[in-house]
Structures are given as structure tokens and as C-alpha cells.
Amino acid sequence: MIPKRHTFAPLAALVLSLNLACTPKEQSTPEPIKAAVVFDTQQTMSELMLWVIDPAADTIWDSVSWISNEKGTKANAPKTEEDWKALKIQASILVESANLLMLEGRAKDQGVWMQQARKFGLEARKNLKAIEEKNVDQLFEIGGDLDQACESCHLKYANYK
Ligand code: HEC
């Protein structure tokens, strides 16, 4: 038994020395350079609303309506693949806009503002889902909820409905 142990000893020593040889090499690997995160938030809140959020929401709200006359009720709704794709783009803008509202430099506080922005994002997501499913009834039904999400933030932060 004893001689056997001795034959293993050099191997163990070799493994150990290999480990030691590797360690300093790993430590000298330079840290990856991290780009500084700088958000461009120069667009004012008003501009973000007027040029990004409001037009996107309007396109979605205007996309579905019912016109009633003596001949009956006719749906005005997206029809072609192109129509749906155009709406999907606008709903995606809204989903991402919720994130933009939460950026440092935009968020008015870390509490209620974040909740309002999140709620808005969830409503926008529901719109995107209805559009992906081409569900006209659903899209019509949830339009009011999206509007509600806009208004409740405005009531608190903008004096604007
Ligand atoms: C998380 C808060 C928040 C949400 C959600 C929000 N807004 Fe706003 N909105 C504001 C604030 C704050 C202002 C006031 C900006 C200012 O005047 O400085 C504003 C202003 C506006 C204005 C007026 C801009 C102007 O200067 O005339 C419009 C239009 C608008 N929002 C549309 C919308 C629509 C449409 C939605 C939803 C689809 C929405 N907003 C969701 C916070 C929000």
C-alpha cells in the first residue's frame, strides 16, 4: 500500500502546480469594458406624449368602430395583413413607451409614477395581444381601459385628461 501512495504523490503535485500556473493567468484577464449607460431624455414629457404616445394610441383607438344606420351595424376594423401589421407597430410603441416613462430622468418618482407607467404598459400589452390575435371585439372593448390608464396618470401628474 505504501509504495502505491508514493506513486500517486507526484501526480497530485503536478495537478497542483498546473492549478497554480492557471490561476495568475485568469486573474490577469482584463475586465470587459462596460459602456456607460446614458439615456437621452432630452425629449420633454410633453414631446414624448405628443409625438410618440398620443399618435400611437390614437391609431389604435381609431382602428375599430361600429357605424349604425337603418341598414344595420357595420364594423370599421382592420382587414388586411398590412392593416394589422400597422397596428402591431403602434401597440409595440406603446408597450415600449411604458419603459421610456420609467427611465431615470423621466420618472417623476419611484412610487406612484412607476405604478402608473406599469399599469399603462400592461394595458398596452393587452392591446398588442388583441392585435396579434386579430380580435376586433376585444380590441374595441379594452380601448377604454387604455384611456383610463392615460387619464389616471394625468390626473395625478399633469392636470390633463
Ligand atoms: C405615467 C404617466 C403618464 C401616462 C401613463 C400617460 N401620460 Fe400623457 N402626460 C403625462 C404628463 C406628466 C404630462 C404633462 C407633460 C407636460 O406638460 O410637461 C402628459 C401630457 C400629455 C399630453 C399633452 C401634451 C401637451 O403638451 O400638450 C397628451 C396629449 C398626453 N399626455 C397623451 C397621453 C396618452 C394618449 C396616454 C395613454 C395612451 C398618456 N398620455 C399616458 C404623463 C402620462
- Which residue's alpha carbon is at the smallest distance from atom 1 of ligand 1? 117
Please tell me if the CB atom of residue 160 comes closer than 6 angstroms to any atom of ligand 1. yes
Number of separate helices (H) and strands (E) present in the chain: 6, 2
Structure-block grid coordinates of residue 11: 501526480
CA of 160 to the centre of ligand 1 (A): 7
DSSP for 3-20, please give it.
Answer: HHHHHHHHHHHHHHHHHH
Please tell me if the CB atom of residue 93 comes closer than 6 angstroms to any atom of ligand 1. no
CB-facing half-sphere around the CA of 111: CA atoms within 13 A: 3
19 C-beta neighbours (distance < 10 Å), count: 9
Structure-block grid coordinates of residue 153: 396618470
pLDDT tens digits for 34-88?
A: 777 789 999 999 999 999 999 999 999 999 998 888 888 888 999 999 999 999 9
CA of 108 to the centre of ligand 1 (A): 13
Structure-block grid coordinates of residue 33: 469594458
Task: Write the DSSP symbol of residue 111.
Answer: S
Q: Does the domain formed by 45-157 have CATH 1.20.120?
A: yes
Contact 97, 70 (CB under 8 A): no
Domain boundaries, the chain: 45-157
pTM: 0.81
pLDDT tens digits for 126-136?
A: 999 999 999 99
Please choose from 42, 44, 51, 53 the residue to mutate so as to test ligand 1's pocket, defined by most ligand atoms within 8 A of CB. Answer: 53
User: What is the rounded CA–CA span in Å between residue 109 and residue 45?
Assistant: 14
CA of 48 to the centre of ligand 1 (A): 8
Q: What are phi and psi of 42, to 5 degrees?
A: -70, -30
Please tell me if the CB atom of residue 153 comes closer than 6 angstroms to any atom of ligand 1. yes
